[in-house]
């Protein structure tokens, strides 16, 4: 599989019934139902996980790494996303969750929330040191970055070219472990505990850099039971606070508004849910947003707490996390000891526009195709029923012109043709 188009979101063909729920919800129209099964167009998929959420047969899944992979490294570091803390009853406490990770097989933990605090300072510095186009758009959510890359080429320049807290955490954790233990960096494994598919993809096919710092990604839901059993065993045992690094501000990154809460000055927007994000980005392209400096955008409703690989209902998780935040003390963790130079956090690779919507490289031919699409669409029923396997009549017309579908894929067109044929047959006899 080409690295360029690796995707975590995949289809379990046996479970797929060929219904039209997913095609209707995909924000990039990446899914078609063909021959009774859904197909994902890899170039278009942004790994937002909307299809995972809406599939009633659980045929859409996010591929992550198997937990057994932990065995392939000598020293194993868990990198819990802050959303992990929302998955458990807050009575367990954050320290216990971190210690439970050590009991299920990790040698070390490094809170991604702590790296979030390091990254948080970056937008301010970035705004001061770079000629940037405002509003600056956060790159913390990889699904949003991919969305911009395929649908909003004009906003690529607005993306903040700063690594995600996950990447920063992995780099810092590996360095710290190497210093502490003397184990060569190559034998240290950094494992991200992920709420979503998009993070898996951003490790396997990174943007902004050649290679991810993370070695493998485990789904929160895959380790949830293991952790819960461990937590129950540990209940009542005294806890020595020694793994907490992040303060409340870093933990807050799991929720919508967490990242922008760091920016003291300026006007910022915190938007969540992919449809809401598209609406805001549309306004941004047309310069309809006034005086907005920063847009925090998280693809899932309620931010990472709503991720498709989480276990707890996002609203319950939010309440859980709130309790964790209230009991968190301000961070005394000093990032300077691990990040020598803030420019280390910057992307080392530019992000190209992937023009997935383009009909042809030759503009004249593209225009002709558009005209044919118009003609075909005008002749379709306009019900957007999805029975043909495309999300709308317009999308079917596009598929026909691109050579992926035929007019009789439309059930109404087929019926017309059949009754036409019957008529002619009748005339003959």
Judged by CB, which is closer to another protein: 240, or 290? 290
Stretch that binds another protein, among 23-31, 114-122, 170-178, 370-378 (CB under 8 A): 370-378
Work out how close the CB of 143 gets to another protein at its nearest, in angstroms, rounded to a whole number: 20
Among 154, 319, 348, 423, binds another protein (CB under 8 A): 154
Residue 209 binding another protein, by CB under 8 A: no
Residue 215 phi, psi dihedral angles, 5° rounding: -90, -30
Q: Which residue has the tokens 């929160």?
A: 220
Pick the binder of another protein from 368, 384, 407, 416 (CB under 8 A).
368
If one asks whether residue 283 binds another protein (CB under 8 A), the answer comes out as: yes
Nearer CB in complex with another protein: 287/427: 287
Confirm or reject binding of residue 355 to another protein (CB under 8 A): yes
Q: Answer yes or no whether residue 316 interacts with another protein by CB under 8 A.
A: no
- Binding to another protein by residue 286, rule CB under 8 A? yes
Specify the residue, 225 or 375, whose C-beta has the smaller distance to another protein.
375
d(CA 180, CA 197): 32
Q: How far apart are CA 162 and CA 346, in angstroms?
A: 4
Rounded to whole angstroms, the Cα distance separating 326 from 94 reads 11
Q: Which of residues 1, 288, 426, 428 is near another protein by CB under 8 A?
A: 288
Tell me if 361 contacts another protein by CB under 8 A. yes
Main-chain dihedrals φ then ψ at residue 294, nearest 5 degrees: -145, 135
- C-alpha dihedral, 230 to 231 to 233 to 239, nearest 10°: 120
Kindly tell me which of 179 and 362 has the beta carbon lying closer to another protein.
362
Q: Using the rule CB under 8 A, which residue among 2, 364, 403, 424 binds another protein?
A: 364
- Number of residues interacting with another protein: please give it, by CB under 8 A: 26
Tokens standing for residue 414: 């087929």
Stretch that binds another protein, among 29-37, 83-91, 176-184, 286-294 (CB under 8 A): 286-294
Binding status of residue 343 toward another protein by CB under 8 A: no
Which of 229, 344, 374, 420 binds another protein (CB under 8 A)? It is 374
Residues contributing to the site for another protein (CB under 8 A): 151, 153-154, 282-283, 285-288, 290, 353, 355, 357-361, 363-364, 366-368, 370-371, 374-375
């Amino acid at each position: 599989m080409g690295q360029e188009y690796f995707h975590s979101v995949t289809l379990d063909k046996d479970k797929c019934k060929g219904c039209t729920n997913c095609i209707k919800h995909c924000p990039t129209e990446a899914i078609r139902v063909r021959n009774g099964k859904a197909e994902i167009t890899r170039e278009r998929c942004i790994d937002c996980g909307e299809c995972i959420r809406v599939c009633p047969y659980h045929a859409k899944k996010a591929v992550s790494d198997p937990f057994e992979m932990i065995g392939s490294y000598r020293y194993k570091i868990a990198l819990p996303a802050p959303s992990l803390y929302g998955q458990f009853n807050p009575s367990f406490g954050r320290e216990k969750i971190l210690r439970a990770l050590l009991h299920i097989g990790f040698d070390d933990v490094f809170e991604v929330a702590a790296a979030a605090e390091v990254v948080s300072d970056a937008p301010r510095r970035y705004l001061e040191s770079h000629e940037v186009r405002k509003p600056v758009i956060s790159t913390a959510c990889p699904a949003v970055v991919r969305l911009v890359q395929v649908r909003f080429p004009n906003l690529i320049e607005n993306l903040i070219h700063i690594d995600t807290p996950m990447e920063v955490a992995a780099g810092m954790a590996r360095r710290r472990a190497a210093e502490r233990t003397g184990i060569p960096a190559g034998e240290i494994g950094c494992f991200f505990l992920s709420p979503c598919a998009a993070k898996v993809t951003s490790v396997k096919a990174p943007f902004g850099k050649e290679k991810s710092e993370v070695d493998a990604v485990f789904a929160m839901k895959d380790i949830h039971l293991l952790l819960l059993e461990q937590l129950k065993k540990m209940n009542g045992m005294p806890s020595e606070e020694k793994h907490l690094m992040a303060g409340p501000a870093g933990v807050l990154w799991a929720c919508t508004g967490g990242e922008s809460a760091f920016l003291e000055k300026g006007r910022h927007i915190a938007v969540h849910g992919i449809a809401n994000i598209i609406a805001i980005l549309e306004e941004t392209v047309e310069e309809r947003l006034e005086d907005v400096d920063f847009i925090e955008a998280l693809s899932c409703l309620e931010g990472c707490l709503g991720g498709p690989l989480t276990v707890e209902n996002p609203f319950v998780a939010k309440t859980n996390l709130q309790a964790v935040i209230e009991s968190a003390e301000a961070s005394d963790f000093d990032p300077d000891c691990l990040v020598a130079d803030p420019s280390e956090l910057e992307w080392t690779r530019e992000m190209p526009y992937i023009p997935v919507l383009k009909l042809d490289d030759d503009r004249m031919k593209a225009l002709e195709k558009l005209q044919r699409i118009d003609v075909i669409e005008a002749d379709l029923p306009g019900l957007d029923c999805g029975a043909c396997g495309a999300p709308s009549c317009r999308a079917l017309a596009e598929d026909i012109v691109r050579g992926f579908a035929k007019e009789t894929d439309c059930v109404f067109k087929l019926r017309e043709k059949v009754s036409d044929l019957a008529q002619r047959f009748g005339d003959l006899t």
